[in-house]
Structures are given as C-alpha cells and as structure tokens.
C-alpha cells in the first residue's frame, strides 16, 4: 500500500514531536505538576464550600441573660461562632482591625429590662465589608438571628393574647420566601470558583507551552527541518506539533472534570460527554490563539509575555466573579476573544441548567471561530518561512 | 575603615545593578509601566463596583393586588429589574436558560387569597448561581422587598384588630436593630478587591523583574557578573545588600504612586495614617525584595520565570485571605501562606489603608515581615554564594594563574592582562 511507504506528513510530525518530548520530558512534567498542584490546592483550600464558623463577638453593655442567650443562638448556627465578649465598642473595633472577628453585635444598657417592659431595645450590628465574603456572611447570620429573636418575642406576646399557633405564624411571618439556588443548593463556593479558575490555569499552561515550543523551533533554527518533516505543509507541521499537547491537556481537563463531578459531587445536569467536547474545543482554541501570537510577535520573550497576560486577563474577563454585563461596553466586546469566557458560559449551560445542545452550541461557536486563527497563523508563518528561504 | 569599605562596596554593587536594570528594556517596562497599567485595568473593569438592575422574571399565577404590589416593589429596588412577566414557569425557565434573566420570582395561585384570609402566603425565589454577585443581588433585593411587604401586611392585620400607631411598631419588632457596614458601606467589589491587588502588583512586578534579570543573566552564562570581580572573595552580604538597595530605591516612587496616589485617584478606601503605612511598607518591601532574590536563584530561563510569575500570582491571590478568609483555611495552607510576604503585605495594607488600623493592630503581620526579611536575606546570601562558588570552581585554576601573573607584572599593561583573564574565564565557562 502506498500509504505505508509514505506515511502522512501529520503522522511524521507527531512522531517527531513525541520524540522531542521524550528527549526533554521536563517541561511537560513541570506543567503537569503545576496543574495537579492547583487542583489539590484549590480543592483543599475551599473544602468547607462556604466559610463556616466565622469568628464574631458580642459587645455587652447590659450584662444580662440576653447576651448569654444570643451567644447560644449564634453558636448554634453554622455560619458564625462567638469568640469573644467585649465590654466596650472600642475593644471590638480593635479586634476587628486585628482581624480577630469579622462582625459584632452591640447590646445596649438595660436591654433586657427594656425587652420585658416592651420598650424595644435597639441592637446594633457591625460587619466588616473590607473582607467581602466573611463580612457579608457574618452579617447575614447576625441579622437572621436578630430577626428570629424579634420573631420569638413577637410569638410570645401573641401567645399570651391567646392566639393559636396558626394565627400566630400568620401574624409573625405573613409571607414565607422559599429560596432555591439553582443547581447549587448549599450555595457552595467550590463549583462556582473552581470550574472556571482551574480551566483558566490549564489554559495558562497550554498557551505558554504552545508559544514556547513553536517559538523554540524558530529560535533554535530547527524550523527548516521541522517543515521538511511535514513535506513543506505548514498546516500539517503546526497541527502535528500541537496535537500531542491538545491530547495531553484535554486529558488533564477531563480528569479534572471527573474529580469535580465524580468525587466532589458538583451538580451536573447535562451530559458528561458534552463537557468532554467543551474541554477539547477550549484547549484547541487556546492553542490556536497562542500560535497566532507566536506568528505575529517575532520576539519569543515578548510573545510569552503577551500570551501570559492574555490568559491571566481571561480570569477577570470570563465574568465568573464580576459579571461582564457590569463592565464598560468596550470591555464587554473585548471579552469575546477569551476562550475562558465561552468556556464559562457553555459550562453553566451544560452543568447548571442541563440545557439542550441547541442552547450551548452557540456559546461554543466563538471558540471554534478562535480555532480558525490557527490557519491565519499558518499562513503568516508560511510567508515568514518563504521570506527566510529566499533571503538565504 | 572596614565599615567605610563595606559602604563603598555596597555603593559599587548598587551602581552595577542600576546599569543592569537600565540596560534591560523588558525590566524597565515591568517596573514602571506594568505597575501603573495593572491598577488602571482593574479600575476600568470594576468601575461600577456593584451589580445593579439584575434582570428577573416574575411569574404571577395569583394575579392579585398583593402580588402586583410585591412585583412593583421588586422593580423599584436598586438591585433588581423586572424585565419579563412570562405566563408560566416553563417559559421563565427557558428565559433563565437563555441567560436573559438571573432570577425568577414565583407567586403561586393562592398567594393573594392566603393573604386576604390571614394565612401564611408563600413566594418562591429561584436564583441563578452562575455568578455569586447575581445571587447576592437577587437574594438581597428579594429579601428587602419581603421584609417591607411583611411589615405592610402585618400593619394591615393589626389595624384590622384595632391596633394602630406606635403599639404596632412595638409588637412588630420587639428587638429592632440598626446595621452598620463598616469600611466600604456600598459593599463594592472594587473597594474590596483592588487595595489588596495593588499590593500584589508591587510584589509580583518585583518578582518578575528580578526573575527576568537573573534568568537573562544565566541564559547568557554571565552568572559570575552577579558579583563584581573585586568583591568575589569578600562578603557576599555586601553584594546582596547593594542589590536590594537598588530595588528599594527604584520602588520608592512606584510604591508612592501605586499605594498612595491610586487609591485616592480611584476613590478607593484610604483612611490609613500615612506614617503607619510607610512604617509597615518598609519591612514589606525588604521582605519582598529578598524573597524575590531567593526565588530568582531558581529561575534559569526568562520564559519559565514568566510562567512562574503568572501561576504564582493566581495562587497568591487565594492564599492572601482577601478572597477566602484566613480563619477558614486549612492549617497547612495558612502556614504555607505565611511564607510569602504578599500575604502579610496584603493583609496589613488592607487593614491599615481600608480599615484605619494602627501598626499595633497588624503587629503579627509586621513582625512576620521582619522575620521573613531576615530569613530571605540569609537564603539569598547562601544561594548567591553557592552559585558563584560552583561556577568559580570550574574555571578557577586557569583564572588563578592568569590573574596572579597579571597582578605580579604590575605594569601599565595590567588592565590588558586582566581583560585577557576575563576572556579565558568566559572560554572556560563555555
């Protein structure tokens, strides 16, 4: 068979690249170790899902049964833990500035006596918003407990008036809000942060590695031999060079997804196979953009810099933490060129909503479009090679 | 005299290092342009601080006066915007899937009648969990309306029983409370995140700059030049101190702009005392510089330095305790985070700058930074010594002979000989 005697140039380049990896396995090993480290780091760092038992304090000007009661109620929640009782506001403020506590509740003098006399003692809640997450969570728990305490007293009054339980509830809480957090019932931080940050880190590795290996061929003047191996076919040369890495990093991404949805039990409404497809397209689009960067910027150091800035900016521009819709319009358009942005949108469709393919494919299309930059890069590099040959 | 000599040596190293920095365009770019560019980018992205007018849908099956009032109030909150009123939940779910809305408020059929009959009425809220800021806006907007609406209904019900005025107030909330959100009252994203990131920008640009300088030097195999010839067998610490001094002086104006001017310019919180901040930032800068010099000893290529930089930046943001609270980190990672000056720097700066803390309040961070300064100063010295010693050993013999000859001859040609010795040195290395 003629194919056997003349293997496809793509196969030749893939073989050549595999041999190169075999000779210098350190790069790939280093990057893989980085990816594995980040998975372990993030999953163990946020193992609580939502911060629990945040330290708070009570400032007790009253010194009555009330503070003890509040303390018990607060400690019974999973959100906060009373770690100190202070005598003055100033002490609590200093504790806050020392970061010993994230919030405190101040009980005024004579609060208990006022309460018994129906004089509505005024409580004050303080929360530290300079640390957004713990500050808001501790505030939420404090406010809930205050409302519950209020409600309990209200119940007691009505009970003494001789109302029955049903009437009392209708009076104390006329409207009940049933809140449903779609596909994340525990309001867990992990699936929300990690499913975007970790693909982002993999993306950073892929982009820099791609720029490095392609740039290295030019720098070490092995580009001629490389192109010869591909029988002068630039597209085959590039594709053959990149495919082993596409495979390897897709594999890492898929393994990551198995950890997320298998062992960490994040919600997955859609099919796992669509996530596999998402990972492969994501890695491929990043490689394509990275090749384009290499083709456009001749200085490899500069190209690596640009590639790194591009992939780290993607964390912000993906909009998982701060929504893109709240950014200035110019930046909103700018977010289109970041594969991580489309990865995030597609992931939400598949995992959180279990949307049909007709829904998430449009989000994947921009990534496919970014893959097409691969051919533009090929053309540019081809021209560069031709110019290089003719000058020689 | 020894001291004077030492100072002179330090000054020489200072000049050499300054020349090296000036010769590298990339490093100049990082030290002076990137440090200013990053804050500008953050400022542009997070300009709006909060998520306002999040689109939601209201599915009203009760079609009552009460549910319409509720929906009207939802629309009036700064957080929410009732953009759709689909006829069924199925339609609303589809809107949610299409990402046109980030929340659904559902009134069941008997909402109005329940309220009219003085029973408990139920409202269902569905939050989009794709981003926590959406969740926060939808949840807090709906909660605020709920509380308001409850009070309205309760007042009505009491009025029906003939209880009005202040008596109602007392019964409704026997324990009223005021809430005070300290430091950033608007709970804005920018005022919370950016002050910490500014410190990280200082830390990381130094890391990248120093890393690139030594990576490039090593790529060019000029490692020996990290130490000027005259000092090679003398104190390593003069070299280390001299280099650190260079970075410290270069970064003084940078820190002044990034950490003092930019918060004011962008309207970020800045209630800290300038004196306290300067006192705190001194050990931070020193610890960072020595940390970076230590780390740079392991960077042998310019490009791996860049990769390390970006990778480390992401990890350091999460280790700092700004995003995920320090009190809730596993012990291992918390102790791990203490190894990086950025953790203490970000914590201390946020507390002094945004919360008006004093140096006493951040004494743990302050002392840790001095300890890190000492520790990394020693490691820098040891690593520099090891590296140069190893390099020296290779070409030592040849060099030694040439040098001795050059010194002995003591002629006007001495410089020429020395230069020849240099060349031999380079050849030996290659």
Q: What is the pLDDT of residues B14-41, one digit of tens each?
A: 887 888 888 877 788 888 888 888 888 8
Kindly list the strands in the beta sheet with B54-60, ordered across the sheet, starting from the edge strand earlier in the chain: A175-181, B121-127, B103-107, B54-60, B80-84
Task: List the domain range (segments joined by +) for residue A36.
Answer: 2-46+188-391
The rounded percent of chain A whose pLDDT value lies above 90 is 19
User: In chain A, what residues touch B322 (CB-CB under 8 Å)?
Assistant: 131
| Res. B342 pLDDT band, cuts 50 70 90 | very high
- The answer on A329 and A262 residing in a single domain is yes
Closest chain A residue to B140 measured between Cα atoms?
A: A140
| Window A:122-161, CB contacts with B under 8 Å | 122-136, 139, 143, 146, 149-150, 153-154, 157
Give me the DSSP letters along A129-144.
Answer: TTSHHHHHHHHHHHHH
- The answer on A234 and A121 residing in a single domain is no
Q: Strand A54-60 vs strand B121-127: parallel, antiparallel, or unpaired?
A: unpaired
Test the B interface: residue of A152, A179, A307, A314 with most B CBs within 10 Å: A179
* Structure-token match 């940078």, residue found: B254
Residue B408 has pLDDT above 80, yes or no: no
Q: Nearest Cβ partner of A120 from B45, B118, B174?
A: B174
- The answer on A132 and A218 residing in a single domain is no
Residue B166 has pLDDT above 80, yes or no: no
- The answer on A336 and A364 residing in a single domain is yes
Residue B250 has pLDDT above 50, yes or no: yes
Higher per-residue confidence, A345 vs B5: A345
The three-class DSSP label of residue B69 is helix
Give the angle A17-A19-A25 at the CA atoms, nearest 5°.
Answer: 95
**B183 and B338 Cβ atoms separated by less than 8 Å:** no
The three-class DSSP label of residue A320 is coil
- The answer on A86 and A201 residing in a single domain is no
Instruction: Give a yes or no: residue A367 inside a domain.
Output: yes
Give the angle A106-A110-A113 at the CA atoms, nearest 5°.
Answer: 125
Q: Nearest Cβ partner of A331 from B45, B142, B357?
A: B45
Looking at the complex, report in whole angstroms how far the Cα of residue B272 sits from the nearest Cα belonging to chain A: 12
Residue B357 has pLDDT above 70, yes or no: yes
The CA dihedral of B395, B400, B401, B406, to the nearest 10 degrees, is 120
List the beta strands (DSSP E) in B113-230. 121-127, 177-182
Residue B212 has pLDDT above 70, yes or no: yes
Per-residue model confidence (pLDDT) at position B218? 73
Summarised one tens digit per residue, pLDDT across range A197-241 is: 999 999 999 998 899 888 888 776 777 788 888 787 888 888 888
Summarised one tens digit per residue, pLDDT across range A68-109 is: 888 888 888 888 889 989 989 999 988 888 888 998 989 888
CATH of the domain at A158: 3.40.1710.10
Instruction: Quickly count helices (H) and strands (E) in chain A.
Output: 17, 5
What is the CB neighbour count within 10 angstroms for residue A306?
A: 18
The rounded percent of chain B whose pLDDT value lies above 90 is 26
Instruction: Give a yes or no: residue A183 inside a domain.
Output: no
What integer is the mean pLDDT of B353-376? 90
| Res. A358 pLDDT band, cuts 50 70 90 | confident
| Cβ–Cβ below 8 Å for B315 and A301 | no
Residue B369 has pLDDT above 90, yes or no: yes
**A36 and A65 Cβ atoms separated by less than 8 Å:** no
Give the angle B239-B303-A379 at the CA atoms, nearest 5°.
Answer: 150
Closest chain B residue to A149 measured between Cα atoms?
A: B175
| Cβ–Cβ below 8 Å for A322 and B189 | yes
Per-residue model confidence (pLDDT) at position A148? 86
- The answer on A96 and A8 residing in a single domain is no
Instruction: Please provide the average confidence, as pLDDT, over all residues in chain A.
Output: 86
Per-residue model confidence (pLDDT) at position B393? 64
Among A65-74, A78-87, B221-230, B300-309, name the one with the lowest average pLDDT. B221-230
- The answer on A148 and A79 residing in a single domain is yes
Q: B253-287: b or e for each residue (b if 16 or more CB lie within 10 Å)?
A: ebbeebbbebbeebebbbebeeebbeebbbbbbbb
**Angle between helices A272-296 and A189-219 in degrees, nearest 10:** 40
Instruction: Give a yes or no: residue A179 inside a domain.
Output: no
Query: Which tokens hold the place of B9?
Result: 């040596």
What integer is the mean pLDDT of A295-312? 84
Among A25-34, B93-102, B132-141, B386-395, name the one with the lowest average pLDDT. B386-395
Q: How far is CA A344 from CA A286, A338, B66, in A?
A: 14, 10, 38
Looking at the complex, report in whole angstroms how far the Cα of residue A8 sits from the nearest Cα belonging to chain B: 33
Closest chain A residue to B127 measured between Cα atoms?
A: A181
| Res. A1 pLDDT band, cuts 50 70 90 | very low
- The answer on A194 and A271 residing in a single domain is yes
Per-residue model confidence (pLDDT) at position B135? 87
Per-residue model confidence (pLDDT) at position B316? 92
A271 at interface of B, judged by CB pairs closer than 8 A: no
- The answer on A278 and A226 residing in a single domain is yes
Q: Which domains does chain B have, with CATH numbers?
A: 2-45+188-395 (no CATH), 54-172 (3.40.1710.10)
| Cβ–Cβ below 8 Å for B184 and A183 | no
What integer is the mean pLDDT of A296-321? 85
| Cβ–Cβ below 8 Å for B187 and A132 | yes
A&B contacts, CB < 8 Å: 292
User: Running DSSP on this structure, what letter comes out for residue B230?
Assistant: G
Per-residue model confidence (pLDDT) at position A24? 81
Instruction: Please provide the average confidence, as pLDDT, over all residues in chain B.
Output: 82
**A195 and A351 Cβ atoms separated by less than 8 Å:** yes
Instruction: Give a yes or no: residue A177 inside a domain.
Output: no
Residues A321 and A318: their CA atoms lie apart, in Å, by 8
Query: Which tokens hold the place of A224?
Result: 């001629």
What integer is the mean pLDDT of B211-240? 66
Instruction: Give a yes or no: residue A245 inside a domain.
Output: yes
Q: Which of A172, A207, A239 delimits the end of a domain?
A: A172
- The answer on A60 and A34 residing in a single domain is no
Instruction: Give a yes or no: residue A314 inside a domain.
Output: yes
Per-residue model confidence (pLDDT) at position B49? 73
- The answer on A120 and A236 residing in a single domain is no
A301 at interface of B, judged by CB pairs closer than 8 A: yes
Half-sphere exposure of B76 (CA within 13 A, CB side): 11
Instruction: Give a yes or no: residue A333 inside a domain.
Output: yes
The rounded percent of chain A whose pLDDT value lies above 70 is 98
Q: Which of A130, A147, A172 delimits the end of a domain?
A: A172
Closest chain B residue to A37 measured between Cα atoms?
A: B315
Per-residue model confidence (pLDDT) at position A392? 59
- The answer on A279 and A347 residing in a single domain is yes
The rounded percent of chain B whose pLDDT value lies above 70 is 85
The three-class DSSP label of residue A73 is helix
If we measure between CA atoms, which residue out of B325, B327, B365 comes closest to residue B343? B365
Per-residue model confidence (pLDDT) at position A136? 85
**A375 and A286 Cβ atoms separated by less than 8 Å:** no
| Cβ–Cβ below 8 Å for A177 and B354 | no
Higher per-residue confidence, B386 vs A205: A205
Per-residue model confidence (pLDDT) at position B224? 46
Closest chain A residue to B272 measured between Cα atoms?
A: A97
| Res. B409 pLDDT band, cuts 50 70 90 | low
Q: Which of A146, A172, A198 delimits the end of a domain?
A: A172
Closest chain B residue to A357 measured between Cα atoms?
A: B97
Query: Which tokens hold the place of B400?
Result: 């030694």
What is the count of structural domains for chain A?
2
Per-residue model confidence (pLDDT) at position B427? 61
Going B235 to B241 to B244 to B249, the CA torsion angle's sign is negative
Per-residue model confidence (pLDDT) at position B261? 86
If we measure between CA atoms, which residue out of A100, A72, A73 comes closest to residue A86? A100
Instruction: Give a yes or no: residue A86 inside a domain.
Output: yes
What is the CB neighbour count within 10 angstroms for residue A336?
A: 13
Q: Nearest Cβ partner of B303 from A99, A304, A345?
A: A304
Per-residue model confidence (pLDDT) at position A21? 85
Q: Nearest Cβ partner of A174 from B121, B130, B350?
A: B121
If we measure between CA atoms, which residue out of A317, A344, A197, A345 comes closest to residue B41? A317
List the beta strands (DSSP E) in B134-230. 177-182
Let me know how long chain A is: 392
Higher per-residue confidence, B295 vs B408: B295
| Cβ–Cβ below 8 Å for B153 and A174 | yes
Residues A251 and A331: their CA atoms lie apart, in Å, by 32
């Amino acid at each position: 068979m003629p194919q056997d005697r003349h293997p496809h140039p793509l196969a030749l380049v893939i073989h050549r690249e595999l041999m190169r990896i075999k000779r210098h396995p350190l790069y790939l090993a280093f990057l893989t170790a980085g990816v594995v480290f980040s998975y372990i780091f993030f999953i163990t760092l946020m193992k609580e899902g939502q911060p629990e038992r945040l330290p708070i304090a009570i400032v007790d000007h009253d010194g009555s049964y009330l503070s003890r009661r509040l303390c018990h109620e607060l400690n019974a929640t999973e959100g906060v833990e009373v770690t100190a009782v202070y005598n003055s506001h100033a002490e609590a403020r200093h504790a806050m500035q020392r970061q010993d506590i994230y919030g405190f509740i101040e009980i005024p003098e004579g609060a208990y006596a006022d309460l018994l006399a129906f004089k509505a003692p005024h409580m004050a809640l303080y929360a530290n918003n300079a640390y957004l997450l713990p500050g808001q969570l501790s505030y939420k728990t404090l406010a809930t407990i205050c409302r519950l305490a209020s409600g309990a007293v209200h119940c007691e009054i009505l009970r003494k008036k001789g109302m029955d339980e049903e009437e009392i509830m209708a009076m104390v809480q006329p409207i009940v809000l049933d809140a449903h957090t779609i596909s994340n019932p525990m309001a867990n931080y992990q699936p929300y942060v990690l499913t975007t940050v970790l693909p982002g880190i993999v993306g950073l590795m892929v982009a820099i590695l791609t720029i490095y290996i392609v740039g290295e061929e030019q720098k070490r003047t092995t580009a001629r031999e490389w192109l010869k191996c591909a029988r002068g076919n630039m597209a085959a040369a590039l594709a053959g060079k990149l495919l082993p890495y596409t495979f390897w990093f897709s594999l890492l991404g898929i393994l990551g997804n198995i950890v997320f949805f298998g062992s960490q039990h994040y919600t997955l409404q859609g099919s796992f196979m669509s996530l596999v497809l998402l990972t492969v397209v994501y890695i491929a689009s990043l490689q394509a953009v990275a090749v384009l960067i290499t083709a456009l910027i001749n200085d490899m150091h500069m190209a690596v810099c640009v590639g790194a800035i591009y992939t780290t900016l993607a964390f912000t521009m993906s909009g998982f933490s701060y929504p893109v819709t709240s950014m200035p319009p110019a930046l909103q358009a700018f977010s289109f060129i970041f594969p991580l942005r489309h990865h995030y949108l597609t992931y939400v469709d598949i995992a959180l909503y279990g949307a049909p393919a007709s829904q998430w494919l449009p989000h994947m299309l921009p990534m496919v479009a970014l893959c097409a930059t691969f051919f533009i890069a090929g053309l540019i590099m081809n021209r560069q090679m031709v110019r290089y040959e003719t000058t020689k | 005299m020894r001291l004077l000599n030492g100072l002179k040596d330090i000054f020489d190293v200072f000049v050499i290092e300054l020349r090296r920095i000036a010769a590298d365009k990339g490093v100049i770019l990082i030290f002076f342009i990137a440090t200013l560019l990053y804050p500008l980018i953050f400022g542009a992205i997070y300009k709006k601080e909060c998520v306002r007018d999040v689109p939601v849908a209201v599915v009203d099956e009760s079609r009552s006066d009460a549910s319409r009032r509720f929906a009207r109030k939802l629309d009036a909150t700064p957080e929410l915007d009732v953009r759709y009123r689909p006829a069924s939940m199925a339609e609303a779910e589809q809107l949610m899937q299409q990402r046109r809305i980030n929340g659904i408020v559902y009134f069941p059929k008997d909402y109005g009648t329940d309220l009219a009959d003085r029973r408990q009425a139920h409202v269902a809220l569905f939050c989009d969990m794709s981003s926590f800021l959406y969740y926060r806006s939808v949840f807090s907007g709906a909660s605020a309306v709920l509380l308001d609406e409850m009070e309205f209904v309760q007042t009505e019900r009491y009025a029906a029983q003939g209880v009005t005025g202040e008596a109602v107030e007392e019964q409704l909330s026997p324990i009223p409370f005021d809430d005070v959100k300290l430091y950033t009252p608007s709970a804005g994203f920018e005022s919370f995140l950016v002050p910490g990131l500014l410190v990280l920008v200082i830390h990381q640009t130094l890391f990248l700059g120093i890393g690139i300088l030594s990576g490039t030097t090593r790529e060019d195999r000029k490692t020996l030049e990290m130490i000027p010839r005259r000092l090679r067998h003398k104190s390593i610490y003069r070299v280390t101190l001299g280099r650190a001094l260079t970075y410290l002086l270069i970064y003084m104006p940078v820190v002044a702009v990034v950490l003092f001017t930019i918060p004011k310019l962008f309207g970020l919180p800045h209630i800290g005392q300038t004196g306290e901040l300067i006192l705190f930032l001194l050990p931070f800068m020193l610890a960072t510089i020595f940390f970076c010099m230590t780390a740079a000893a392991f960077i042998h290529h310019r490009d791996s330095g860049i990769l390390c930089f970006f990778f480390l930046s992401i990890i350091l943001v999460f280790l700092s305790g700004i995003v995920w609270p320090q009190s809730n980190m596993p012990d291992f990672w918390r102790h791990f985070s203490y190894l990086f000056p950025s953790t203490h720097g970000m914590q201390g700066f946020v507390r002094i700058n945004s919360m008006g803390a004093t140096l006493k309040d951040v004494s743990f961070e302050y002392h840790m930074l001095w300890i890190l300064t000492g520790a990394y100063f020693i490691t820098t010295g040891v690593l520099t010594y090891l590296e140069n010693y190893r390099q020296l050993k290779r070409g030592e013999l040849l060099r030694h002979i040439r040098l001795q000859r050059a010194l002995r001859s003591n002629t006007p040609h001495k410089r020429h000989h020395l230069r020849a010795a240099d060349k031999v040195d380079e050849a030996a290395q290659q």
